Amino acid sequence: MSNLSLDSAARIVDAALEHARTLKLKPLTVAVLDAGGHLVAFKRQDGSGILRPDIAQGKAWGALGMGIGGRALAERAQKAPAFFVALASASGGRVIPVAGGVLIKSGGDGVVGAVGISGDHPENDEACAIYGIEQAGLTAQPE
């Protein structure tokens, strides 16, 4: 059904949170979606706010939705805000154009999913996503 196994997704989540502990970041929420945009693995650390699950999933979903990472989505949203208002509506609120949404690529299969992380500065969220993907032996595309 998906080219992203639960084993890989769970490793991404745990490695991302390890990296956050090393960097002493604020409490994070980490979501891993498959290529179809459906949740595979998820953890929200103690003290991470109640909107974080939607933001983390929205960063990942937006990246999958447009086929580019959250960092590039954020740049486009700066230039074309009305377009992103329309995307927010069209997607039922599932597109969050901010760094911290990172596409997951696997050698033969292309894009197999995306990670979304929320809770600290967007660039720190993104660093944890990239670390997690690489620890799982996969390729990260943040933009």
Interacting residue with its own copies among 12, 16, 64, 127 (CB under 8 A): 64
Closest approach of Cβ 130 to its own copies, in Å? 20
Closest approach of Cβ 112 to its own copies, in Å? 8
User: Rounded distance, CA 62 to CA 59, Å?
Assistant: 5
User: Which is nearer to its own copies, 23 or 85 (by Cβ)?
Assistant: 85
Residue 80 CB: number of other CB atoms within 10 A? 13
Q: Residue 137 interacts with its own copies (CB under 8 A)?
A: no
Determine the size of the site formed for its own copies (CB under 8 A): 57
Closest approach of Cβ 134 to its own copies, in Å? 21
Q: Residue 72 interacts with its own copies (CB under 8 A)?
A: no
Contacts of 9 (CB under 8 A, 6+ apart): 32, 34, 40, 41, 113, 136
Interacting residue with its own copies among 42, 134, 139, 143 (CB under 8 A): 42
Q: Residue 124 interacts with its own copies (CB under 8 A)?
A: no
The length of the chain is: 143
Of all helices (H) and strands (E), which one includes residue 31?
A: strand 29-34
Closest approach of Cβ 46 to its own copies, in Å? 5
Q: Within 13 Å and on the Cβ side, how many CA atoms surround 125?
A: 28
